[in-house]
């Protein structure tokens, strides 16, 4: 009986470790996605500013 309890405890510990690992991976992925979205918005704004300047001097837009 003790060995069954030990095996169950080990399985629970492994499951917890796997769950924590998956949660950490998901959090990291969400952070990467958020950073990419922020970078895209920032760069889009910078390109728009550059295009306004290029319009002013008569050059082709980017």
pLDDT means per 10 residues, the chain with 62 residues, are 64 80 96 98 97 94 88
What pLDDT is attached to residue 9?
A: 67
List Cα–Cα distances, 7 to 3, 19, 22, 29, in angstroms. 6, 18, 22, 33
What pLDDT is attached to residue 16?
A: 85
Among the residues of 2-60, which ranges form H helices? 2-57
What pLDDT is attached to residue 44?
A: 97
Per the listing, tokens 């837009």 go with 61
């Amino acid at each position: 009986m003790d060995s069954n309890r030990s095996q169950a405890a080990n399985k629970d510990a492994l499951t917890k470790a796997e769950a924590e690992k998956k949660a950490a991976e998901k959090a990291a992925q969400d952070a990467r996605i958020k950073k990419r979205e922020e970078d895209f918005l920032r760069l889009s704004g910078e390109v728009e500013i550059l295009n306004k300047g290029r319009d002013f001097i008569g050059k082709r837009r980017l």
